[in-house]
Amino acid sequence: MITRREFLKLTGLTIAVVSTPSGIKLLHAEESKDYRINAWINISRENRATVFINKSEMGQGVYTGLTVLIADELDFPLEKVEVRFAQPRKEYVDPRMGVLLTGGSTSIIHMFTPLRKAGAAARTLLLKAGAKKLGVKESECKTENGKVIHIKTGRAVPYGEVAEIASKMKLPRRVRLKKEKDWIYIGKPVKRLDSKDKINGEAKFGTDMYVKGLFYATVIKPERWGSRLKSYKVEKPVPEEIVKIFPISGGIAICGTDVERVWETEKNVKAVWSKSKIKGMSDKDFIKRCIDELSRKGNVAKNRGNVAKVLKKARKKIEAVYTLPYLYHATAETMNCTVKLSKDRCDIWVPTQAQTSTLRAIKRLTGLPEERIFVHTTFLGGGFGRRAAVDFVIDAVEIAKKVKRPVKLFYSRETDIKSGYFRPVHVCKIEGAVDDEGNIAAWKHKIAAPSLLEFARGKKYRVDPEVVRGVRNIPYDIPNLYVEYRKVNFPVPIWYWRSVASTHNAFTVESFIDELAELAGRDPVDFRLDHLFSNVRASRVVEIAAEKSEWSKHRYGKAIGIAFHHSFRTYVAQTVEISVEDKTNEIFIHRVVCVVDPGPITVNPELIRMQMESGIIMGLSSALYERVRFNDGRINSDNFDTYPIMRIDKTPKIDVYIVNSKGVMGGIGEPGLPPVIPALTNAIYRATGKRIRSLPIYS
Amino acid sequence: MRLTVNGKVYSIDTRKDKKLLWVLRDELRLTGTKYGCGKALCGFCTVLLDGNAVRSCQIPVYMAEGKEITTIEGIPEDHPVKIAWLELDVPQCGYCQPGQIMQAIDLLSNNKNPTDEEIISAMYGNLCRCGTYPRIIRAIKLAAKLMREKK
Ligand code: FES
Ligand code: FES
In sequence order, what DSSP letters do the residues of A276-324 get, joined into one string? -TTTT--HHHHHHHHHHHTTS--EEEEEES-HHHHHHH-SEEEEEEEEE
Do B96 and B65 share a structural domain? no
Does residue A640 contact residue A666 with C-beta atoms inside 8 Å? no
Do A119 and A35 share a structural domain? yes
User: Which atom of ligand 1 is least distant from the CA of A640?
Assistant: 4
Chain A neighbors of B25, CB-CB under 8 A: 207-208
From residue A405, give the alpha-carbon distance in Å to each of A71, A263, A344, A393. Answer: 41, 19, 14, 16
Do B9 and B62 share a structural domain? yes
Chain A neighbors of B71, CB-CB under 8 A: 201
Q: Is residue A199 part of a domain?
A: no
pLDDT score, position A27: 41
DSSP assignment string, A53-85: ESS--SSSSHHHHHHHHHHHHHT--GGGEEEEE
Give the domain range for residue A684: 294-327+422-688
Do A565 and A587 share a structural domain? yes
- When CB atoms are compared, the residue of A203, A210, A649 closest to B94 is A203
Q: Using a 6 Å cutoff on CB, does residue B57 contact ligand 1? A: yes
Do B68 and B46 share a structural domain? yes
A32-75 pLDDT, tens digit per residue, is 579 999 999 999 999 999 999 999 999 999 999 999 999 999 99
DSSP assignment string, A457-489: H----SS-HHHHTTTTT-SS--SEEEEEEEE--
Chain B window 101-120: which residues touch A at a Cβ cutoff of 8 Å?
101, 119-120
Do B103 and B60 share a structural domain? no
Chain B neighbors of A379, CB-CB under 8 A: 93-94
DSSP assignment string, A423-438: BPPEEEEEEEEE-TTS
**A178 CB-side CA count, 13 A:** 24
Whose CA is closest to A426, among A409, A407, A450? A450
Do B116 and B63 share a structural domain? no
Q: Output DSSP code: residue B100.
A: H
Q: Is residue A205 part of a domain?
A: no
Does A202 contact B32 at a Cβ distance shorter than 8 Å? yes
Interatomic CA distance for residues A165 and A35, integer angstroms: 9
Q: Is residue A530 part of a domain?
A: yes
Q: Which of A410, A430, A461 is the last residue of a domain?
A: A410
Do A304 and A391 share a structural domain? no
Q: Is residue A697 part of a domain?
A: no
Asked if A533 reaches chain B (Cβ–Cβ under 8 Å), the answer is no
Q: Which of B30, B55, B74 is the last residue of a domain?
A: B74
Q: Which residues of chain A have pLDDT under 50?
A: 1-31
Indicate the number of domains in chain B. 2
Q: Is residue A694 part of a domain?
A: no
From residue A282, give the alpha-carbon distance in Å to each of A108, A287, A635. Answer: 41, 9, 9
Q: Is residue A415 part of a domain?
A: no
Q: Which of A410, A436, A460 is the last residue of a domain?
A: A410
Do B127 and B95 share a structural domain? yes
Chain B window 31-70: which residues touch A at a Cβ cutoff of 8 Å?
31-39, 41-42, 44
- When CB atoms are compared, the residue of A379, A614, A648 closest to B123 is A648
Do B39 and B22 share a structural domain? yes
Do B143 and B105 share a structural domain? yes
Do B59 and B30 share a structural domain? yes
Give this complex's ipTM: 0.99
Q: Which ligand is nearest to the CA of A61?
A: 2
Work out how many CB contacts closer than 8 A connect A with B. Answer: 167
Q: Is residue A603 part of a domain?
A: yes
> What separation in Å is there between the alpha carbon of B99 and the centre of ligand 1?
9
Chain B: nearest CA to A291, how far in angstroms? 31
Do A517 and A393 share a structural domain? no
Q: Which of B34, B50, B74 is the last residue of a domain?
A: B74
Instruction: Report the predicted TM-score, pTM, of the whole model to 2 decimal places.
Output: 0.95
Do A530 and A392 share a structural domain? no
Residue B151: band (very low, low, confident or very high) from pLDDT cuts 50, 70, 90 = confident
Give the domain range for residue B37: 2-74
Indicate the number of domains in chain A. 3
Do B120 and B58 share a structural domain? no
Q: Which of B10, B45, B74 is the last residue of a domain?
A: B74
pLDDT score, position B150: 84
Interatomic CA distance for residues A627 and A286, integer angstroms: 12
User: Which atom of ligand 2 is least distant from the CA of A332?
Assistant: 3
Do A389 and A308 share a structural domain? no
Q: Which of A386, A410, A434 is the last residue of a domain?
A: A410
Chain A neighbors of B125, CB-CB under 8 A: 647
pLDDT score, position A74: 98
Do B128 and B94 share a structural domain? yes
Do B145 and B84 share a structural domain? yes
Within A189-282, residue ranges assigned H as helices are 195-199, 259-264
Do A367 and A344 share a structural domain? yes
The domain that holds B123 is classified in CATH as 1.10.150.120
The domain that holds A83 is classified in CATH as 3.30.365.10
Do A431 and A377 share a structural domain? no
Chain A: nearest CA to B151, how far in angstroms? 24
Q: Is residue A347 part of a domain?
A: yes
